Amino acid sequence: MDVLSVRNVYEDAERAKDKKAAIGADVTIENFTDETVNALDMIDDLDDLSNQTKKDLLKVGVDTEENNRSGSFLQVDQSNIFTNNAISDSIEVMNIGIALEKYNWVEDYLWNVVKPDADKYTAKTALREKEDGVKSGYFVRSLPGTKEVMPVQACMFISDADIMQTAHNVIIAEENSELHLITGCATGDDISSAMHVGVSEMYLKPGSKITFTMVHNWAEEVEVRPRTGVNLADNATYINNYILTSPVSTIQSFPTAYCNGENSRAIFQSIQGGKKDSIIDVGSRVLLNAKGAKGEVISRAVAQDESQIYARGHLAGTVPEVKGHLECHGLVLSDDSFIYAVPELEASSANLEMSHEAAVGKISEDEINYLTSRGISEEDAESMIVRGFLNMDITGLPDELAQQTQNMIDMSLDGM
Amino acid sequence: MLLEIENLGVEVAGKRVLKDINLSIAEGETHVLLGPNGAGKSTLFLTILGFPQYDIVQGSIKFKGQDITKLSTAERVQLGIGVSFQTPPAIRGVSVRDLLKIESHQDMDEDLNPRMKELAEQLKFSDEFLDRDVNLGFSGGEVKRSEILQLLAQMPDFTMFDEPDSGVDIENVELLASEIGTLLDKDKPQGSRKRSGLLITHLGYILNFVSADKAHVLIDGVISCSGNPTEILEDIRKNGFNGCVECAQCL
Ligand SMILES: Nc1ncnc2c1ncn2[C@@H]1O[C@H](COP(=O)(O)OP(=O)(O)O)[C@@H](O)[C@H]1O
Ligand SMILES: [Mg+2]
């Protein structure tokens, strides 16, 4: 990025600093405090974390012993306290600030597939970067032609009450490489209120593949606004898995994949369990902009208690010979909760194929009766059905990771 | 008596479906319930099972001497009642294997026990099949065989089968009949049978392969006659259920 475009980023951000997001409840950013970047001390080993923190991290898929991992990154509040870049020769993991010092080209990947003026949350992230002169977040890159099957684990953790955590992450899969990430976000046990904004920009070069599996475990008063953009070149494959089954105040995100390369493919799979008075507004969007591109958005949502779930999916085909499928299934378990499914298909070209399937309803009496007729209590029957409903087959992961992901899903569903 | 139904009256969705039903089944006995479509056979089955939609407005059901009229379905099943459904629902994410473990009181973390694996094979299910979501996309025959396999996991003292032969080809009817025989102690001499059952069928086809001690004909919510299964079946085959209607009128 040259000087001019850097200035443009901040000018754009400045103009957008009060711009409400297109959807989702508006959060008063001023209610949260900024922390100084890298105020916390680095640690030498994830094992040095407190037992409680380790437990919290484990719940979101972060293995503090780093077994079966190809790298680790941990940001606590606004500090990058741990990075392990030494496990794999195929993969680089570092703080985004360090990456910018190491490679001058990293600049070109900032504010490119996510715009600083998208809304006040992206604007705030950009303006803080300007103000601090330092960036927070991670940089993960798989080198050309490499296929590391073990995942990198990246974690955003909030340990201080009432703060606003921001991060700006860049993920690059170089040509014909394969990259797997497990990202966990969580708050410490004693934290009730906080805010998290994570800007993530992903770039898939020709023939590359990224799988991105994210588990969220926030607290009841946390406001979450992730902003994710994914750019796919020819023959690239992106697989996004998202799991949220714990209470949160509000979360709104609408990650968008731009299938700009021919025969590129994006799949979003999400599992959402709404509890207490959580407001969950999570969508996935795939823009099919090149011949042979494919998009798939699959979500399962269960609303309990007083929760509200907006399950969105948007597929847009702009050129011929693209394919898209959208599938949204929801279960409403209580009278005070609701699910609002918003499947959108948009075709601005002829000769393309797009379909959707949406079904929202309450748990089927017939299914409960069937299980009780096997001697299972009504309560257990209900929880079996809910778990079964949410326990979707996640596709596209290497065997080892598929097993781990299944364990993560099982663990998340245990709390349901 | 193992099962004793006295003066039972049942309403479904505000409509009276069963009237003054009296039926007793002793230990070791297999009874058949015949009757035309819409007579109320499934209603009686689901009432004995205790599904919430079936309102008992009169009478009582006793099982093993205990009044079970107010018990939940799960409680009745735990007392030793088992069922195979005519058209069970599919449940996403709940596998046949999971159910078999629960039904045979196994720990969910353990491998399926060898006895169940063997029975699954006998019923022509591959090991992979057991991981399928129950009833989801099953053929008619697979549904019935899976129902019977689940019953073999439970080995209930009293088993009710709702139209176990409908939609099943001949070859599989024999296979099902032999497993139904196992569930009803047919391999033992009549006097020493312990397990009992109620076979519901409107065609009576399954009776070519499973013997029964007594038959009842249900017409329009009323048991119009009870007696020797062979004689009653012969009469129905000759005269249809009309004969039974006339018989009911004589009563
Ligand atoms: N859940 C229900 N809701 C409304 N009507 C029902 C229900 N179940 C059964 N019925 C009615 O009760 C009568 C008997 O039905 P059923 O017991 O299914 O007969 P069978 O099994 O002998 O064919 C029918 O008139 C049927 O329409
Ligand atoms: Mg019936």
The ipTM of this complex is: 0.96
Work out the angle between the directed axes of helices B140-154 and B170-183 (0-180°, nearest 10). 10
CA distances, A100 to each of A136, A139, A204, A253, B45 (Å): 11, 9, 19, 27, 72
Domain chopping of chain A, boundaries: 1-201+212-217, 365-416
- Picking from A55, A50, A67, the residue whose alpha carbon sits closest to that of residue A411 is A55
The answer to whether residue B250 scores a pLDDT higher than 60 is: no
Those residues whose C-beta lies under 8 Å from the C-beta of residue B143, and which sit 6 or more positions away, are B87, B88, B135, B167
Give the tens place of pLDDT for each residue, A313-360. 999 999 999 999 999 999 999 999 999 999 999 999 999 999 999 999
Domain chopping of chain B, boundaries: 1-79+213-251, 89-189
The identity of residue A74, as a single letter, is L
The identity of residue B163, as a single letter, is E
Q: In this structure, which topology does domain B89-189 adopt according to CATH?
A: Rossmann fold (3.40.50)
Give the tens place of pLDDT for each residue, B104-113. 999 998 999 9
Distance between CA atoms of residues A20 and A3, nearest Å:
28
Q: Return the ∠ at Cα A89 (arms to A85 and A94), rounded to 5°.
A: 25
**Ligand 1 in reach of B18 Cβ (< 6 A):** no
Q: Whats the size of chain B, residue-wise?
A: 251
- Picking from A293, A250, A254, A289, the residue whose alpha carbon sits closest to that of residue A270 is A254
Which chain B residue lies closest to A377 (C-alpha atoms)? B74
The identity of residue B236, as a single letter, is I
Distance between CA atoms of residues A313 and A341, nearest Å:
8
Q: Which ligand is nearest to the CA of B39?
A: 1
Around ion ligand 2, which residues have CB less than 5 A away?
Answer: B 41-42
Q: Provide the terminal-to-terminal Cα distance of chain B, rounded to the nearest Å.
A: 25
Q: Is there a contact between B130 and B119 (Cβ–Cβ < 8 Å)?
A: no
- Name the E strands within A265-322: 265-274, 279-288, 294-303, 308-317
Mean residue pLDDT of chain B comes to 94
CA distances, A369 to each of B77, B85, B91 (Å): 12, 11, 11
pLDDT score at B167: 82
pLDDT score at B247: 66
pLDDT score at A192: 84
Q: What are the backbone angles phi and psi of residue B244, rounded to the nearest 5°?
A: -70, -35
SS (H, E, C) B76-136: HHHCCEEEECCCCCCCCCCEHHHHHHHHCCCCCCCCCCHHHHHHHHHCCCCCCHHHCECCC
Q: Does domain B1-79+213-251 have CATH number 3.40.50.300?
A: yes
Q: What are the backbone angles phi and psi of residue A234, rounded to the nearest 5°?
A: -55, 135
The answer to whether residue A306 scores a pLDDT higher than 70 is: yes
How far apart are the CA of B54 and the centre of ligand 2, in A? Answer: 14
Window from A307-316, A401-410, B9-18, B191-200 with minimum mean pLDDT: A401-410
Distance between CA atoms of residues B99 and B82, nearest Å:
14
The answer to whether residue B204 scores a pLDDT higher than 70 is: yes
Mean residue pLDDT of chain A comes to 94
- Picking from A171, A169, A161, A298, the residue whose alpha carbon sits closest to that of residue A227 is A169
> Which of B11, B16, B17 has the most ligand 1 atoms within 8 A of CB, as the residue to mutate?
B17
Q: What predicted TM-score, i.e. pTM, was given to this entire model?
A: 0.88
The answer to whether residue A184 scores a pLDDT higher than 60 is: yes
**Ligand 1 in reach of B97 Cβ (< 6 A):** no
| Average pLDDT for A267-272 | 96
pLDDT score at A4: 61
Q: Is A374 on the interface with B (CB under 8 A)?
A: yes
Structure tokens at B246: 């006339």
The CB-side HSE value for B99 (13 A sphere, CA atoms) comes to 33
